[in-house]
Amino acid sequence: MSGVKCIKTEKLLFLACLILLTGCATQKPDLPYGSLDTNSDFSLDTQTEAGKLPFFADELCAAAEDITDSSTIDTSDLKAACVYDISGRKVVYSYRANDRLYPASLTKIMTALIVLENCDDLNEEVTVGDVNIREQGVQLFGLKEGDVLSVRKLLYATLVNSSNDAALALALNYGDSVDHFVEMMNSRALELGCTHTHFVNPHGLPNEDHYTCAYDLYLMFNEALKHEEFVKIIQTVKYEIEYKDSEGESQSKEITSTNSYLTGAYSKPGEVSIIGGKTGSTASAGRCMILYADAKDGDPYILVVMGAGDTDVLYDSMTKLCNDCVK
């Protein structure tokens, strides 16, 4: 098992102070962005005051208030929506970007980031622990205790098919316990400047103390995109996972992306190139999606929609944001 990067409290305090004092850098970050060849139920009423943003986040070049004049998107059935121009370090569109919301399976972005930052070899084999999830109707790969498969295959199941048991298997492998892994998630989120985030599990299933916001998701996703394997996985439509069960017998299962742009269930927007992304959904979180897309000139963008009333609203809203804001 790979070693865990321990993050001390003193280091976190130092990093937070350093960011506050230095402000926004004038030089664009060195990010490996660009098109690749291939194309439960709970509620949360507490929200931040509209238009307000803590100084810490403001120093990270976030918008301090809503910016909605770049699109005529209907926000009446959404909880948040944002568009970020990565190269230009510009907030193109921002609607309630800092409201605390439930992320559902968008949580798995941070789960994957922790694993990618701590894994030396994605071909390392993992013996699955107790990943029994008793909630009804949740997305599962069907893993059983004693199954053996690689870290890479678990990441594909987690990000492509949004398998909650795969995310749990990764957490047990890299954190020794779910609680320890969640500590790693929260510590890393704080390092990234996610001031409206608190995780309690690695998959995003219901918990009233598990929340984030659209802006924080942008920060996490932006960091995850620095990993080539992450970008490769999130644009995958189908993937065959071969593994051994607890009896040593070979098994195989094909998974399909939950991203309906990639599967063709929804038409891709205009001249925007959809590279990939992550979806999430629970009854109270609504339908959520974060996308990595390229404009016609190749400039990369990150788009976030949270709390859509249904799947049609989610994709209609995201398509309009792409067509209106990705230039």
Lowest mean pLDDT of 12-16, 110-114, 189-193, 220-224, name the range.
12-16
Burial tier of 56 (Cβ tally within 10 Å: 0-12, 13-18, 19+): middle
Contacts of 12 (CB under 8 A, 6+ apart): 187, 190, 191
> What letter represents residue 234's amino acid?
I
Confidence of residue 215 (pLDDT cuts 50, 70, 90): very high
Mean pLDDT of 304-311: 98
pLDDT of residue 230 exceeding 50? yes
Confidence of residue 29 (pLDDT cuts 50, 70, 90): very low
What is the structure's pLDDT at 142?
96
Confidence of residue 88 (pLDDT cuts 50, 70, 90): confident
pLDDT of residue 52 exceeding 80? no
Lowest mean pLDDT of 30-44, 190-204, 247-261, 306-320, name the range.
30-44
Contact 292, 277 (CB under 8 A): yes
Tokens 């394997």 -> residue: 229
Where helices occur in 86-143 by DSSP H, the ranges are: 108-118
0.85 cut: is pTM over it? no
Query: Which CATH code for domain 53-325?
Result: 3.40.710.10
What residues are annotated to the active site?
Answer: 105, 108, 162
As a whole number of angstroms, the distance between CA 161 and CA 254 comes to 10
pLDDT of residue 26 exceeding 80? no
Please indicate whether residue 319 or residue 45 has the higher confidence score (pLDDT). Answer: 319
Q: Which residues does residue 304 pair with via DSSP β-bridges, in sequence order?
A: 82, 290
Residue range 129-179, pLDDT digits in tens? 999 998 888 999 999 999 999 999 999 999 999 999 999 999 999 998 999
Please indicate whether residue 183 or residue 39 has the higher confidence score (pLDDT). Answer: 183
